Structure formats: C-alpha cells, structure tokens
Structure 1
C-alpha cells in the first residue's frame, strides 16, 4: 500500500455484539499497512463478535476504555453491529474517548451502525457521512448531512454503509490515518462548542 502506518497505533473501540468482519477486516488492513492495533472496550477480558445474528469469535481486549488515553493513538476505528454501538453510545468513558479524537482533529473511521455512537458523542452536526440505512433518520435528526454512498470522507471522518463496503472503507481509512491530523476535524469540534486539543 502506498501509504504506510509504520509507527502509528490505532484504536478499535468495540463492545460485545460487534459485527465481526467490521473489526477483523479493518484490523488486517491496518496491520498490513504497518500499524499497531489495540482493541479498546468498556469490558475487560474478551468481547464477543457476531456474524449478523449468530455468535462469532471472541477477541482479547487490550485496554479498558476508562484507562485509555486518546492522545496515545493516531486514529480510531468504530465497527458496527446493532448491539455494539447501542452499548457504547450510553457509556460515558466511550463517548469521552471518541470526542477526544474529534477535538484533536484525529481521523476516525465508522461503519454500518457505528455512527450511532457519534450522535451521542455530539460530533455529527454539520458533517457529511453515510451509515447503515436504519440509522440515517437518527443522523439527520442530529444535524448530519447523510448520503447513500459506498464510502464518504469529510475532514478525516470516514464512514461506510455495511460490510459490502469494507474494501473501499479500509482503503480510505488507511489514507486518512496516514495523513494524520485534520484541521477541519478539529475546527468542526470547535464549531460544536468543544475546546480543541493541540
């Protein structure tokens, strides 16, 4: 891959019930590009993946979200699955962790149901993104500009609709993570009334 992520550590934030392929495919792409990847979760030990409605594999959690420092990571990946974002969107530590990436202008990649988390983190207003079809009304109601496209990039925020979009999602995610800090991402956070970290 043209861009390399050597020396960068990327966080994948997930809880039980994540769509397994939306964690494993981005993780493989990141590692192939040279990144170190850590799974961060509200739960310690292991988290349970799902293949749609069926249980998949379990994955070791590297760091509890309450003890994770966003400044240690170059970017954030948010896998979907209906249960996973529903858990994370009401977890204060998870929301604080997500907001920290936006405040610092760091790239974030969210797929499928994961933009639900972004609503509760207060970071979608005025942003252009896509998502799984069932949560688009929620995103519009939160002030986002929602489109039906394979992958959308808006100032470091990468979003896709579902597992079929993973090849495009992973490619753009790597590109944005390689670029690093996005001033527009930090500016959007500032416009939303949150302080910008430098």
Structure 2
C-alpha cells in the first residue's frame, strides 16, 4: 500500500531510451512515485519526447525532462528502469546511460528495474552477487553476469527491486516506494 508523502522531497530518475519503453512499465511506477509524494523526472539520451509502446504497438509519447549526459546521480535519490525489449537494448549501448545507472549502485541508492530493464545493469556490471528476477528470457544473461536469478513476482536485494513483467506491477510499485522511502542501502561487496 502506497502512503501519501512517503517519498516527499525525493527526486526519482526514470531512465529510458527515445523509443521502445513499455508504456505501462513507465506509467505505473511513475504514478506510484507521484502518489507517494515523490518527484519523478524522465531522463533520456536525447531531448524532446520518448515513444512508448504497448507491447509491439505504438503507445503515447512523453516529454523528456533531462538528458542523461547533463545530469548526475547526485541529483536524484533513486532510479527506475522501465522495461520493453528495445529500451534497455538501446540504453546499454550508450556509455553515459550505463555510467548513470551504475553510479546509483556505487552510491548505494535504491534502484528498481522491471522486465528487460536489467540488460542495462548487466552492461554496468552491477548485478554480480545480487539476487534478482527479470523477464524469463534474460535469466541466462543475468546468471552469466554473476546474478542469482529467481522466478518471483518481486525480489528485493539491498535496495535493488526487480520484477518480471507488467502483471507484477502492483507488487513492484509497492516495493519500490518502500525501498525508495528507506533511502541509502549498503552495497554488497564487489558492487
């Protein structure tokens, strides 16, 4: 259950590519952050608008608040990585996006990733030793990167929240608000 003002004063970055983000995996966590009193900001690799998708069909567009190369993780209290297949596949090829995402782990700030979003984190080399979940087709990639992959609705590991798919969004949103409200988490060794 999301409590009003639980995230009051907290800025949350939502890192997305210009195209390919799964719309519901952006909008539901965004609403959860807002309902809890947090301030979400859409961060992308270029200015303008991003294109969301409803699986394979084009969805809505959303205005970009900040460009990843112009912001720092120091500006935010937490990070959300929405899924969609194309979104993280593109982000992991952009060094600024990979560094931005990885820095949240190094600074021990909470991070939430759903579905395919964990691909970006494989590239950032921050999943080693972490217990997590994702869309099932990524389990081999995550295991090869040193993660302990489990098939569960939502997994929390020291402030790192992961879920598998849109159907998991209620549990994902509840846990991300809870972890973001707690703030800093001590990173595991090797992260």
TM-score range, shorter chain: over 0.9
- Shift of residue 147, structure 1, vs aligned partner: 0.1
- Shift of residue 44, structure 1, vs aligned partner: 1.0
Q: Residue 5 of structure 1 aligns with which residue?
A: 7
Q: CA RMSD in A?
A: 0.9
Q: Deviations over 1:68-124 (max 9, x none)?
A: 110110100000000000000111000110111001000000000001111000001
Write out the 4+ residue segments of structure 1 that deviate beyond 4 Å after TM superposition.
Answer: none
Quote the Cα distance in structure 2 between the aligned partners of 1:70 and 1:79. 17
Q: Residue 53 of structure 1 aligns with which residue?
A: 56
Q: Residue 92 of structure 1 aligns with which residue?
A: 95
The answer to whether 1:34 aligns with 2:37 is: yes
Q: Deviations over 1:137-190 (max 9, x none)?
A: 10011110000000000001000000000000000000000000001x2x44xx
Structure 2 alignment gaps of length 5 or more: none
SS in 2 for 1:152: strand
SS in 2 for 1:17: strand
Quote the Cα distance in structure 1 between the aligned partners of 2:127 and 2:106. 13
Quote the Cα distance in structure 1 between the aligned partners of 2:40 and 2:73. 13
- Aligned counterparts, 1:1-198, within 5 A: 1-2=2-3, 4-15=6-17, 16-183=19-186, 185=187, 187-188=188-189, 191-192=190-191
- TM-score (norm. length: structure 2): 0.96
- TM-score (norm. length: structure 1): 0.93
Tell me the matched-pair count. 188
Structure 1 alignment gaps of length 5 or more: 193-198
Q: Deviations over 1:1-54 (max 9, x none)?
A: 347000010000001100000000000000000001100000210000000000
